[in-house]
Chains A and B, each alone.
Chain A
Amino acid sequence: MHKGFIRGISAVLIGLWSAMLFSETDGVFDEYRAMLGDDNPAIFVIFDGEEIWFTPAGPKSASLEQCDLGLGPGVVEGAYAQLPRYFADVDRVQDVEARLEHCMTQLQGLTPAEVHGKPYSLRGDLGTELEALVAWIADQSSGLAIAPMQAHAKERATYELGERLFYYRAGPHDFSCATCHEQAGRRIRLQTLPNLTTHQGAAEAYSSWPAYRISQGIVRTMGWRMRDCMRQQRMPELIMGSEATVALQTYLAVNGAGAPMAAPGLKR
């Protein structure tokens, strides 16, 4: 029911958007976003995510209610804003997706292969359970300051690793994240590029993911954003919850720390 409605809305939004796509100014999308106000089709995905969290699943037929996102088992409110963080039970730093994988395998008895089967939607899909869960979890931190933990040595090392990866050039095109994201006022074609090495740029980017992508009609997560940037850099496929994606997200979160979360955002 929700999903059918979302697809209906998506079709209308895509139509509106394509009419504006060739407009010369970049401010049009901001106007459009302002026009929608607080209305974001992601709300339906958030509802789905909440339902999924409380629904028993997997071989152990358990819900995720006992999942510890960093603030204790079952505490979801405010948890996203403090990720990525160090988890003693796995002795590593995890983002929301790595942590959900941990909970799905430990609590519900799913295999890692099952969790990794299809974490993110392909174009035209209705959205995955992981995307819905992340949308709901992020929404539970909306308005709270980005405050990734940097107390543990591994958390600080993860930030430093993230910075090194940000500048790592490789592949046939010699691209790194920095190729597009270390200067202000730049764009690719008409797409503006945040300068992720600054507080402001990182805060704008980090606070708005996960986001409802109008052109795709689904909620995309920060993990997906990292994977897709790597695809555009001509790199191989970035694995969900991997050390590299956690490090890059930590780099962004720490650079943007203090700014309020505003996810799920709304993007073209």
Chain B
Amino acid sequence: MQLLAFILFSTAVYADEAYNVLLDSMKDKNFVTVERLEQDELQEFCSQPRSASVDQARAAKLREAALKGVLIPKDERYLGDWQLGEKVASNGRGLQYSDDPEQENGGNCYACHQLDPKEVAYGNLGPSLSGYGARGQSAAMLQYTWTKLWNTHAYNVCSHMPRFGAAGILTEKQLQDVMAFLFDPNSPVNRSQP
């Protein structure tokens, strides 16, 4: 019993050490405060090397919680304006202490994904999404993609992708516009030839 208590205590201290070091090593800058160093349960769970063994039961719980938290847009209106969505996808600014907090945040999709095949400056941390609309526009497909954007961990716990909806990085309106950029047949994602 005492041993168990000791092990639990040591684990907590171990997890806290990184936080305490960061707290001592960083300071508020502009609108960015050290509160950002606090981890939620998901962040704490996902702060391990890829090779580390995963607690599958806990992963399933986190996946479920992520899915439950997804807010579906009113009247299931998933698609907005693809031209505005293209701007969100290209904009890498937002939430860095060097950014203007009065400006709207970008989604920075191109940092990690190929989208319009004519855009050559795309990253490859995530899969290519060129021609995404060809995957169909069924209700299930729209809902899946919305969920992926809102909180990627609903499908893939510890994905590298930010929780654009759940973390409040993008607004519902911006997400609808990004959805249109992905799905609209007139969007360069689906129209352009490389």
Q: Say whether, besides A173-B167, A236-B37, A189 and B122 are in contact (CB < 8 Å).
A: yes
A235 contacts across to B, CB distance below 8 A: 26, 32, 36-37
Q: What 3 A-B pairs are tightest by C-beta distance, nearest first?
A: A244-B25, A242-B25, A237-B29
Which secondary structure dominates where chain B touches chain A? loop
A234 contacts across to B, CB distance below 8 A: 32, 36, 95-96
Q: Which residue of B lies closest to A187 (CB)?
A: B123
Task: Decide: B125 and A172 in contact? CB cutoff 8 A.
Answer: no
Q: Which residue of A lies closest to B158 (CB)?
A: A169
Task: Decide: B36 and A170 in contact? CB cutoff 8 A.
Answer: yes
Task: Decide: A197 and B39 in contact? CB cutoff 8 A.
Answer: no
Task: Decide: A230 and B39 in contact? CB cutoff 8 A.
Answer: no
Give A185 to B43 CA distance when docked, in angstroms: 25
Q: Which residue of B lies closest to A163 (CB)?
A: B49
Q: Which residue of B lies closest to A24 (CB)?
A: B120
| Interface flag for B142 (CB, 8 Å) | no
* B15-23, B68-76, B77-85, B181-189: which lies at the interface: B15-23
Q: Which residue of B lies closest to A185 (CB)?
A: B124
A234-264, CB under 8 A of B: which get 1 and which 0? 1111110011110100000000000000000
Task: Decide: A189 and B110 in contact? CB cutoff 8 A.
Answer: yes
Chain A residues close to B by CB (< 8 Å): 22, 24, 161, 163-165, 167-176, 178-180, 182-183, 185-191, 193, 197, 230-232, 234-239, 242-245, 247
Task: Decide: A170 and B25 in contact? CB cutoff 8 A.
Answer: no
Known: A22-B121, A189-B121. 4 other contacts (CB 8 A): A174-B167, A178-B49, A239-B27, A244-B26
| Interface flag for B102 (CB, 8 Å) | no
Which B26-57 residues have a C-beta within 8 angstroms of A?
A: 26-29, 32-34, 36-39, 42-43, 46-50
| Interface flag for B67 (CB, 8 Å) | no
Q: Which of A172, A182, A231, A236 contacts B28 (CB 8 A)?
A: A236
Q: Which of A175, A180, A239 contacts B25 (CB 8 A)?
A: A239
Q: Say whether, besides A188-B123, A189-B111, A170 and B26 are in contact (CB < 8 Å).
A: no
Give A171 to B32 CA distance when docked, in angstroms: 10
B98 contacts across to A, CB distance below 8 A: 231
Task: Decide: B21 and A247 in contact? CB cutoff 8 A.
Answer: yes
Chain B residues close to A by CB (< 8 Å): 17-19, 21-22, 24-29, 32-34, 36-39, 42-43, 46-50, 95-98, 110-112, 120-125, 160, 162-163, 167-169
B19 to chain A minimum Cβ distance, whole angstroms, is 8
B124 contacts across to A, CB distance below 8 A: 185-187
18 examples of A-B residue contacts, CB within 8 angstroms: A165-B18, A167-B47, A169-B47, A172-B169, A173-B162, A173-B167, A174-B43, A174-B163, A179-B125, A188-B112, A189-B110, A191-B123, A236-B36, A237-B29, A239-B25, A243-B24, A243-B25, A244-B24
Task: Decide: A238 and B25 in contact? CB cutoff 8 A.
Answer: yes
B140 to chain A minimum Cβ distance, whole angstroms, is 26
From A164, A173, A180, name the one whose CB has the most chain B CB atoms within 10 angstroms: A173
Task: Decide: A169 and B97 in contact? CB cutoff 8 A.
Answer: no
B65 to chain A minimum Cβ distance, whole angstroms, is 15
Q: Which of A168, A170, A182 contacts B50 (CB 8 A)?
A: A182
Q: Which residue of B lies closest to A232 (CB)?
A: B96
Give A179 to B158 CA distance when docked, in angstroms: 10
Task: Decide: B32 and A170 in contact? CB cutoff 8 A.
Answer: no
From A24, A163, A237, A238, name the one whose CB has the most chain B CB atoms within 10 angstroms: A237
Q: Which of B38, B49, B111 contacts A182 (CB 8 A)?
A: B49
Q: Say whether, besides A170-B36, A186-B123, A230-B26, A236 and B97 are in contact (CB < 8 Å).
A: yes
A170 contacts across to B, CB distance below 8 A: 22, 36-39, 43
Give A187 to B110 CA distance when docked, in angstroms: 11
Q: Say whether, besides A179-B160, A243-B25, A247-B21, A236 and B125 are in contact (CB < 8 Å).
A: no
B92 to chain A minimum Cβ distance, whole angstroms, is 8
Task: Decide: B43 and A237 in contact? CB cutoff 8 A.
Answer: no
Task: Decide: A231 and B95 in contact? CB cutoff 8 A.
Answer: no
Task: Decide: B26 and A238 in contact? CB cutoff 8 A.
Answer: yes
Task: Decide: B24 and A161 in contact? CB cutoff 8 A.
Answer: no
B50 contacts across to A, CB distance below 8 A: 178, 182
